[in-house]
Structure 1
Amino acid sequence: MDFEIPGELALFVDGVRQFRERELMPLEPDFLRAGRFTSEQRSTLENRARQQGFWALDVPADHGGQGLGTLGTCLVAEELYKHPAMFEFGGSPEPVLYEGTPEQKERYLYPIIKEEKRCCYAFTEPSGGSDVAAMRTTAVREGDNWVINGTKTFISHAERADFVILFATTDRTLGARGVTCFLVDTGTPGFTLSRPIPTMGDDWEPYELTFDHCVVPDANRLGPTGGGWALANDQLTHGRLKIAAYQLGIAQRCVEIAVDWARNRVTWGRPIASRQAIQWMLADSVTELEAARWLVYHAAWLADEGHPIKTEAFKAKLYATEMAQRVTDRCLQILGGMGYSKELPIQSFYRQVRVWRIGHGTAEIHRWMIARDLLGISARH
C-alpha cells in the first residue's frame, strides 16, 4: 500500500511542532524538577494553544470543530508527546458524548468543544477494569431517577472535571449487557472525590471516586439502558489508538537524545557511537519504532476510511506500548547516569510509559482479544 501524509496535514503538524518547541520546551527543565505543571501553567498553555488555532481538532466541522480525522489526531498526539508533560490540546470531547440526545449535547458536548466544561471518564473499579461482568457500581431505577452506589478508581482528570461519564451496572444478571452509561455532574450529592492516588509517573495523579446514594435523573442516562458496554467499547478503541500514538512521540524523542549523546560522549578516546553495543541498541530501537508507527498510521487510515479498527487498535497499542518500554530503557542505558537524572526527560518517559501497558486494557488482555479475533469461536472454549 502506498502511503503519504497529505501536504496540508503535514504543514499542520509542523505548526504543532513549532508550538511544542516554542511553548512547551522552555518549561521542560522546571517540569522535570517539579514532576508536574501547575494548574495555572496548564491553563495558560491551553489558552495559548486555542489562540493559535489548536483546539477541537478531532471534532467534526458540523459540530464546530476542525475535523482533523483520526490520522491527523494521531500525528498531533505523536508530536506533543515528545514533551514529558502529557500535554494535549483542548476542545475534544470523549466520543461517547456524540451519542447523547440533543438536550444532552447542549449541556455536555458543546460546552466541552467551547472549553466551557471539562469531563472525566469513570470505568475502572478497585475490583478490576476490563472485566465488565465484575462491575460492582450499581444504578437502581427509582421513578424518574437512578440511585448510584459504588467506587471508581484510577480516574484521570477528575479534579478538573465538571461532570463524569460514569459506567454502572443496571442489571448484574446480564453481565456486560447490563451496563449503562450516565452523566453525573460534579457537586451532585453523594458523589465525592475520595482521594488522589500517587503514582510513579510524573504529573499523573488519578483519583478514586465514591458514589453513595447518588441520585441522577434519567435525563442524564446516556444511550439506552444496558447499552453502556457498546458505548465503552467504541470509546476504548478510540483511546487505545491515541495511546499508541503517544508512544511514538516518546520513543522518537528518547532516540534523538540517545543518538546525540552517543555521538558526543567519549570514552577511551572514542565516541560511544563507535561501540557495537550502542549501535545495536539504537538500530533495534529505530526499527521497532518504525514498525509501531506503521501499525498506528495504518489503523488511523482505516478509521478515516470508515472501517472498524477494534483489532487494529489492539495491535497498535500492544506493540507500541511494549516498544516504548524497550526503547526508553535502552536509551536510558546509553546515557548511563545522565539518563537516570532529572536533568533529562528520559527518566520521566521511562516511568510514564509503564502505565500505558495497563491503562485501557492490559497487554495481556490485548493479546487475548487479538487471538480471539484470529481464532474465532474456538478461542472461547
Structure 2
Amino acid sequence: MDFTIPDEYRQLTESARRFRETELMPLEQQFLRDGAFSPELRTELEHKARRHGLWALDVPEEYGGQGVGTLGACLVAEELFKHPAMLQLGGSPEPILYSCTDEQKKRYLYPTIEEGLRSCYAFTEPDTGSDFAAVRTTAVRRGEGWVLNGTKTFISDVERAGFCIVFATTDPALGAKGITCFLVDIGTAGFEVSRPIPTMGDAWEPYELTFRDCEVGDEQRLGPVNGAWKLAADQLTHGRAKIAAFQLGIAQRCLDLAVDWAKERRTWGKPLASRQAIQWMIADSAVELDAARLLVYRAAWMADAGEDIHHAAYAAKLYATEMAQRVTDRSLQIFGGLGYSRELPIQSFYRQVRVWRIGHGTSEIHRWMIARKLLGLGSGD
C-alpha cells in the first residue's frame, strides 16, 4: 500500500481546524458545564460549518456533494473530535439512503444533502445488538402496506431527526436474511419516541422507540423485501471507519494536553516531564495513537480505492477505540485530580470513548469476526 494525503484534503482539514478554534473552542467551558449542546445550538453550528466549506463532504458530486471520499471525511472528523462536543457535520446522509428509489431520494436523500434533514438509525433492540437474526420488531403485510410492531433502544440523533431508518423482520424463519428496511417519518401514527436513556457520557443521549400497529406504505420500504442484511452490513462498515477516526482526534487532544501539563507541572522541584513513569505513559500513548492512525487511514484509503474494507474496518475500530480508552485514562492520570474535574475536557472524553467499544459492534464481536476470517471459519463480514 502506498498512499499520500492529497493537498486538497490538507486544506480541508485546515478549514476544520479553523472552524473548531473559532466556533467550538469558545464554547468548550459551556459544554463541560452542561454536558451537552442543545439541538438548536448543534444545528446552528452545523450551518456555521457549512460557511467554512464543511458540508456534504463525502457525498458524491453527482448528488451535489463535495465527493472528498472516506479519507477526507475521516481527516475532518479527526480534527473536529478534538472538541468534546464531538460535532458531526451536516449534509451527509446515512450511506444506506443511496439505495433509495428515485421517489425516495426526492423525499429523503436530497433534502438531507441540501437542507440538512436528519435521520436516526434504528436497529438495536432490548434483546439484540449485533445479532441480526435476533431482531424481534416485525413488519407484516397489510393490503398495499406494512404494519410495524416492536421496540428499538439506544437510538441516536432522535431529537433532531425527521425520519427513522427502521429494520424489522419480515420472515422470522430466514433469520438475518429475513430483515427488511423501512423509512418511517417522525410523527407517523403508532410510532412513539418512548423515552430518553440517561448515560454516563456527554453529548450523547440515546432514546427508546416504540412501534405499535404503525402503518407504512410499501413506498416506505427501502430495498427489497428480506434484503436489508447486506444494506445494514455495508452501513455498519462505513460507520466503523468513521468511529475509528473519531478516536484519533480524541486521543490526540488528550495527549497534547498531557504533554503540555507534564512540562508545566512541578513536583518536588522538578517538572513531571522528568519522571520516567510519566515519560512512559506519554511514549506509549504516542506510539499507540500512531498505530491507530495508520489503521484508520489504511481502511479509508482502501474504501476510496473501491476495495472491500470489512476486515480493515473491524481492525481499525477495534484498535482505535481501545487505544483512545487507554490514552484518555493515562492523560487523566498525568493531570491527577485536575484531570478528574469538569474544568478540563479529559474527563468528558474519558467517559465518552467508552461507548465506542460497544456501538456498531462490540470489541468482542470485532475480534470474533477477525479471527473467523483468518481461521477460514467465515468471511468475517
Question: 1:115 Cα deviation (Å)?
Answer: 2.3
Query: Are 1:79 and 2:79 counterparts?
Result: yes
Give me the whole-angstrom Cα distance separating, in 1, the residues matched to 2:378 and 2:49.
Answer: 50
Is the partner of 2:88 in helix, strand or coil? Answer: coil
Contact 2:3/2:301 (8 A) holds in 1: no
Tell me which residue corresponds to 2:329. 329
Give me the whole-angstrom Cα distance separating, in 2, the residues matched to 1:116 and 1:341.
Answer: 35
Which whole-Å deviations, capped at 9, do the CAs of 1:149-173 have from their partners, x for residues lacking one?
Answer: 0000000011211100000000000
Tell me which residue corresponds to 1:120. 120
Query: Are 1:294 and 2:294 counterparts?
Result: yes
Letter in 1 for 2:137: T
Give me the whole-angstrom Cα distance separating, in 2, the residues matched to 1:108 and 1:176.
Answer: 26
Tell me which residue corresponds to 1:184. 184
Contact 2:82/2:253 (8 A) holds in 1: yes
Contact 1:371/1:379 (8 A) holds in 2: no
Contact 2:149/2:212 (8 A) holds in 1: yes
Letter in 1 for 2:159: E
Give me the whole-angstrom Cα distance separating, in 2, the residues matched to 1:18 and 1:356.
Answer: 26
Tell me which residue corresponds to 2:285. 285
Change (3 A) 1:333 1:114: same
Contact 2:170/2:178 (8 A) holds in 1: yes
Query: Are 1:6 and 2:11 counterparts?
Result: no
Tell me which residue corresponds to 2:224. 224
Letter in 1 for 2:317: K
Is the partner of 1:213 in helix, strand or coil? Answer: strand
Give me the whole-angstrom Cα distance separating, in 2, the residues matched to 1:251 and 1:52.
Answer: 25
Which whole-Å deviations, capped at 9, do the CAs of 1:90-123 have from their partners, x for residues lacking one?
Answer: 0000000000100000000001001252111000
Contact 2:39/2:159 (8 A) holds in 1: no
Tell me which residue corresponds to 1:135. 135
Question: 1:379 Cα deviation (Å)?
Answer: 9.9
Is the partner of 1:152 in helix, strand or coil? Answer: strand
Taking the TM superposition and a 5 Å limit, the aligned residue runs for 1:146-185 are: 146-185=146-185
Give me the whole-angstrom Cα distance separating, in 1, the residues matched to 2:14 and 2:54.
Answer: 12
Contact 2:140/2:146 (8 A) holds in 1: yes
Question: 1:47 Cα deviation (Å)?
Answer: 1.5
Tell me which residue corresponds to 2:68. 68
Give me the whole-angstrom Cα distance separating, in 2, the residues matched to 1:83 and 1:19.
Answer: 11
Is the partner of 2:115 in helix, strand or coil? Answer: coil
Tell me which residue corresponds to 1:315. 315
Which whole-Å deviations, capped at 9, do the CAs of 1:146-197 have from their partners, x for residues lacking one?
Answer: 0000000000011211100000000000001000000001111000000000
Letter in 2 for 1:333: Q
Question: 1:369 Cα deviation (Å)?
Answer: 0.5
Contact 1:77/1:246 (8 A) holds in 2: yes
Deviation above 6 Å: which 4+ runs of structure 1?
none
Give me the whole-angstrom Cα distance separating, in 1, the residues matched to 2:318 and 2:143.
Answer: 44
Contact 1:254/1:327 (8 A) holds in 2: yes
Letter in 2 for 1:91: G
Question: 1:276 Cα deviation (Å)?
Answer: 0.2
Contact 2:39/2:160 (8 A) holds in 1: no
Give me the whole-angstrom Cα distance separating, in 2, the residues matched to 1:212 and 1:197.
Answer: 20
Tell me which residue corresponds to 2:47. 47
Give me the whole-angstrom Cα distance separating, in 2, the residues matched to 1:115 and 1:53.
Answer: 15
Letter in 2 for 1:351: R
Give me the whole-angstrom Cα distance separating, in 2, the residues matched to 1:318 and 1:118.
Answer: 28
Give me the whole-angstrom Cα distance separating, in 1, the residues matched to 2:144 and 2:308.
Answer: 36
Tell me which residue corresponds to 1:348. 348
Contact 1:84/1:345 (8 A) holds in 2: yes
Cα RMSD of the aligned pairs, angstroms, is 1.1
Tell me which residue corresponds to 2:306. 306
Contact 2:35/2:203 (8 A) holds in 1: yes
Tell me which residue corresponds to 2:205. 205
> What's the % identity of the aligned pairs?
70
Instruction: Give the unaligned 5+ runs of structure 2.
Output: none
Question: 1:89 Cα deviation (Å)?
Answer: 1.1
Is the partner of 2:109 in helix, strand or coil? Answer: helix
Question: 1:39 Cα deviation (Å)?
Answer: 2.1
Is the partner of 2:152 in helix, strand or coil? Answer: strand
Give me the whole-angstrom Cα distance separating, in 2, the residues matched to 1:379 and 1:54.
Answer: 36
TM-score by length of 2: 0.98
Contact 1:58/1:65 (8 A) holds in 2: yes
Taking the TM superposition and a 5 Å limit, the aligned residue runs for 1:266-285 are: 266-285=266-285
TM-score by length of 1: 0.98
Question: 1:301 Cα deviation (Å)?
Answer: 0.4
Change (3 A) 1:29 1:55: same
Work out the number of aligned pairs and report it.
380
Letter in 1 for 2:93: P
Change (3 A) 1:52 1:136: same
Question: 1:378 Cα deviation (Å)?
Answer: 7.5
